[in-house]
Structure 1
Amino acid sequence: MALVGLFSAKDDEFEGKLDLLASLVEARGGQVVGRHVQRRGVSSGGADKMGDPLSRRTLLSPGRAREVAEACRQRGVGAVVFAHPLTDHQRAVLRDMFGCPVLSGEDLR
């Protein structure tokens, strides 16, 4: 499985949040083979865009979504787990992009 999280540049605890998500995956017999993080507001250009809405379709930038999709294909990932809640529409769009089921951390609790 691959983990995906969208975090503010001000969030210093994002790695710990991904570690917790990884422990939920492993407690259910899954193996984490990749972690993908989208940081928002890291660069000066990104900080200017902090107020802009996120992609309602993917929660990720187009480039990061392509990066995750390619990594999923290369590693034969069986599922992707997002650190954030997802709508049914987002799950469907991401499933089509990534080529595997897409869950949120809430699904593992």
Structure 2
Amino acid sequence: MHQPRRRDRRPARRVPPEPAQRPASRHTVMGADVVLVGFFSAKQKDFATVMASAATELAARGARVVAQMVQRRGVSDGGVQKMGLPYSSRTLLSYGKVREAAQVCDRARADAVVFVASLTARQQRTLTAMLGRPAVSLSHILAAD
């Protein structure tokens, strides 16, 4: 005889609803101490200029850049093939660099973290949770004006 089918007693996976996205606005960085984070491939040689212009844009909007960090991709032999890709689709950066950014933010008592690269909504949520402060993209701040 065959055995009766057993019912799966595990609860069904429920996907939580997406939280309403509030637009990053000028008030996010106005008067705030921010850490500026850049992600660049090794092909982009002028990353220091891009970081300096991003710091200038933030200063023009009332933010104080208290620290800057750069993650470069493709500097080592292993990263050359994946140079244009982020280290992680969840965080854009490598896990160690995210931990380092969190430590820098804590030491500098930063109010927010501004990324030079565009962030997806998922990356924004994940980085905000991991860093313990709002993580926003510079492009969102510039678009809000």
- Shorter-chain TM-score above 0.5: yes
CA contact (8 A) 2:42 2:83 kept: no
Does residue 3 (structure 1) correspond to residue 40 (structure 2)? The answer is: no
- The one of the two structures with greater contact order (alpha-carbon pairs below 8 A, sep at least 6) is 1
Normalized per residue, the structure richer in helix is 1
Identity rate, percent:
46
Q: Which residue of 1 aligns with 2:77?
A: 44
Q: 1:82 pairs with 93, 115, 133, which one? A: 115
CA contact (8 A) 2:41 2:84 kept: no
**What does the per-residue CA deviation read over 1:63-93, in whole Å, with 9 as the maximum and x for residues that have no partner?**
1111001111121111111011111111111
In the alignment of these two chains, the number of paired residues is: 109
Larger Rg: 1 or 2? 2
More displaced, 93-102 or 46-55? 46-55
Alignment of 1:67-106 (within 5 A): 67-106=100-139
Q: TM-score under structure 2 normalisation?
A: 0.70
**What does the per-residue CA deviation read over 1:47-67, in whole Å, with 9 as the maximum and x for residues that have no partner?**
254376531111001111110
Does residue 64 (structure 1) correspond to residue 94 (structure 2)? The answer is: no
Question: Cα–Cα, structure 1 residues 81 and 54, in superposed 2: closer, same or farther, change >3 Å?
Answer: same
* Unaligned 5+ runs, structure 2: 1-33
Question: Cα–Cα, structure 1 residues 30 and 74, in superposed 2: closer, same or farther, change >3 Å?
Answer: same
Question: Cα–Cα, structure 1 residues 72 and 50, in superposed 2: closer, same or farther, change >3 Å?
Answer: same
CA contact (8 A) 1:73 1:99 kept: no
* Unaligned 5+ runs, structure 1: none
Q: TM-score under structure 1 normalisation?
A: 0.91
CA contact (8 A) 2:54 2:116 kept: yes
